Structure 1
Amino acid sequence: MDVQVIANLEELKLSGKDITMICHDHLPKHLFQNLKSLEIVSDKSDNFSIGFLQRFHNVERLKLRNSSYKEIFSNGEVEKQAGMLTQIKSLKLWELSNLLHIWEQCYKLDSVFQNLETLEIWWCNNLINLVPSSASFENLTTLEVSYCQRLKNLVSSSTAKSLVCLMKLRIDGCKLMTEIISSEGDVEEDEIVFSRLKWLSLECLDSLTSFCSGNCTFKFPSLEDLFVIDCPKMMIFSFGVLSTPRLREVRKNWGLDKGCWEGNLNTTIQKLCNNKLPPMVPFSSRFLYLRLLCHQ
């Protein structure tokens, strides 16, 4: 092992076997002092070992992929290692087929991810909730959730209020998701402002009926790009007051086709819903139909 080479590493990928080996070796305390990005793959453990991060004092980007975790952060470990998690700016969870939750509802981890800027979750098919309703992400700029088949909503209205820095939101292929923001309790009037959100994409969401089914007021003062693609049950964007002063179209595909706009967002979504193609149209016919629509 070339200690000097390891000491200069800024990116590292480890397997579950590598973790076991490192934990049993008496390595220098500051061996990984320059490491900024850590990826862990093929770990057969039920839980991610947060204590293992003690060896990586300056890691800012953490990616966990193709592992057996049922839970990422357990309360006992987080209380001891909270300082290690506050340095994480990017967290990516990919292909964690056993994952049920990132942490349980009863855990109070509000401040642990105060510096998190990017959260990406892909192909976690058993994930039943993203984060507890008490979770706060005040510095998050990018949130992407794709192909998490058991998720029924993304975040609570309380968590949504904390997303004051969010600039990009993409939800794709979550077949059971009925709404993006879940309303809480009997709150009749609530206001959520996504002050910096510029880009929003809702794709292949078979069960989505609206962005939020509650009576929340939503303000999107910076939103310019909105994609609503293959969301067959989406009849309205939201039921409360809605403000999108910079939005000029809703795009229904990734092509160069001009988007749709009917004066306001709810009316536009209703128009797109009424113009949806009939089911079971062959792909070639569907493509031709879309081309004809573009030339009308």
Structure 2
Amino acid sequence: MDNQLDISAKQPFSLFDKVFSNLEELTLNRKGMTVRWQGQFRKLKALQVVQDESSVFPLIFLQGFRSLEELVMRSCSYKEIFLHGDIEKHAGMLAKIKVLKFDALSELKRIWKQDSKMDSVLRNVEILHVWNCHNLIKLVPSSASLENLTTLNIKSCDGLVNLITPSTARSLVQLTKMSIDGCKMITEIVANEGDATRNDIILTKLKWLLLHRLPRLTSFCSGNYAFKFPSLEQLIVNECPGMKIFSRGVSSTPRLWKMQLSVDGNDEFLDCDVNTTIQRIHRTSGT
């Protein structure tokens, strides 16, 4: 790939002097992270950190990458990421990040503190992928606003019981694609917080929703919220044997006329609404 570099600490620093100023993508392991890169990557947009056996990600390390838009962490031993260090000091730089991807962080328990200054960072994230993080118990803080998020992809995160709160769901005004796959413990996507004062949750731009291999999922939400999906065109519900209804409240899907019961096809036409259709499928399956 053009303008991409994979660096280990064994490679002579002088060999890369001429390309540093234009480098846009970089992969570093733990040894590479011990080198002072500050000021060298003026145009670096994507950073991938791999195979770091540290328990905590060193937040201060990112201060040298002023143009960073994509941060990927893969096969690391982090238990915590955005928790230590001076969040306020680095918030301005972190706010430029648009893509966050975490994969195979088997020890990860928390990504950010509940009451941290990370809210300003999360507002600008457009793509969030979290895969194979089996010990993660909370995706985002309960008050998090994800107003610029367009793609949410969660896969094989077995510690999650629910995904987001109603207040976070209401902030998803740009979300177009949501995929939840292979999370063994999840029971609902939007948590039931009993918020009787604001019942409507409108996912204005959501077009594609996948609920796949979720053995304990009982509903998209068990609370009495009215969900509106004015743009939803494709709904895939596959291998969710415990899903008896879509939601307790009314669910409006004016552009959806069929459900997909497998990733490969096998469509099911809607019976008036998505709730009635899922109830009928559940009864027919005999689960």
Query: TM-score w.r.t. structure 1 length?
Result: 0.88
Q: Given residue 61 of structure 1, which amino acid in structure 2 is its aligned partner?
A: E
Q: Distance in 1 between matches of 2:94 and 2:117?
A: 14
Q: Distance in 2 between matches of 1:257 and 1:234?
A: 18
Does the CA contact (< 8 Å) of 2:58 and 2:84 recur in 1?
A: no
Deviation at residue 102 of structure 1 after TM alignment = 0.8
Deviation at residue 257 of structure 1 after TM alignment = 2.9
Deviations 1:36-81 (A, max 9, x none): 1110001122221222112111111110011111111016421210
Q: Given residue 133 of structure 2, which amino acid in structure 1 is its aligned partner?
A: C
Matching residue of 1:96: 105
Residues matched between the structures, number = 273
Matching residue of 1:250: 259
Q: Give me the identity figure in percent.
A: 50
Does the CA contact (< 8 Å) of 1:47 and 1:71 recur in 2?
A: yes
Does the CA contact (< 8 Å) of 1:85 and 1:113 recur in 2?
A: no
Q: Distance in 1 between matches of 2:86 and 2:212?
A: 36
Q: Given residue 252 of structure 1, which amino acid in structure 2 is its aligned partner?
A: L
1:176 aligns with 2:185: yes
Q: Given residue 30 of structure 2, which amino acid in structure 1 is its aligned partner?
A: G
Q: Distance in 2 between matches of 1:250 and 1:15?
A: 43
Q: Given residue 101 of structure 1, which amino acid in structure 2 is its aligned partner?
A: R
Matching residue of 1:19: 33
Does the CA contact (< 8 Å) of 1:108 and 1:134 recur in 2?
A: no
Q: Given residue 203 of structure 2, which amino acid in structure 1 is its aligned partner?
A: F
User: SS in structure 2 opposite 1:18?
Assistant: helix
Matching residue of 1:273: 282
Q: Given residue 132 of structure 1, which amino acid in structure 2 is its aligned partner?
A: P
User: SS in structure 2 opposite 1:267?
Assistant: helix
Deviations 1:102-122 (A, max 9, x none): 112232432122211000000
Does the CA contact (< 8 Å) of 1:203 and 1:231 recur in 2?
A: yes
Matching residue of 2:196: 187
Alignment of 1:142-161 (within 5 A): 142-161=151-170
Matching residue of 2:80: 71
1:206 aligns with 2:220: no
Deviation at residue 277 of structure 1 after TM alignment = 7.1
When residues 75 and 48 of structure 1 are mapped into structure 2, their CA distance, relative to the original with a 3 A threshold, is closer
Q: Distance in 1 between matches of 2:85 and 2:179?
A: 32
Matching residue of 2:19: 5
Q: Distance in 2 between matches of 1:221 and 1:241?
A: 13
Does the CA contact (< 8 Å) of 2:74 and 2:102 recur in 1?
A: yes
Q: Given residue 68 of structure 2, which amino acid in structure 1 is its aligned partner?
A: V
User: SS in structure 2 opposite 1:259?
Assistant: strand
Deviations 1:242-266 (A, max 9, x none): 1110001110112243333212100
Q: Distance in 2 between matches of 1:78 and 1:104?
A: 10
Deviations 1:259-286 (A, max 9, x none): 33212100111122123277xxxxxxxx
Q: Given residue 21 of structure 2, which amino acid in structure 1 is its aligned partner?
A: A
Q: Distance in 2 between matches of 1:136 and 1:126?
A: 23
Deviations 1:24-47 (A, max 9, x none): xxx5x5310111111000112222
Matching residue of 1:36: 45
Deviation at residue 5 of structure 1 after TM alignment = 1.7
Q: Given residue 233 of structure 2, which amino acid in structure 1 is its aligned partner?
A: E
1:235 aligns with 2:235: no
User: SS in structure 1 opposite 2:86?
Assistant: helix
Runs of 5+ consecutive residues of structure 1 not aligned to the other structure = 279-296
Q: Distance in 2 between matches of 1:142 and 1:247?
A: 19
Q: Distance in 1 between matches of 2:132 and 2:265?
A: 28
Matching residue of 2:11: none
Deviation at residue 173 of structure 1 after TM alignment = 0.5
Q: Distance in 2 between matches of 1:246 and 1:110?
A: 33
Q: Distance in 2 between matches of 1:9 and 1:272?
A: 52
Q: Distance in 2 between matches of 1:124 and 1:107?
A: 21
Matching residue of 2:8: none
Deviation at residue 188 of structure 1 after TM alignment = 5.9
Q: Distance in 2 between matches of 1:185 and 1:104?
A: 24
Runs of 5+ consecutive residues of structure 2 not aligned to the other structure = 1-13
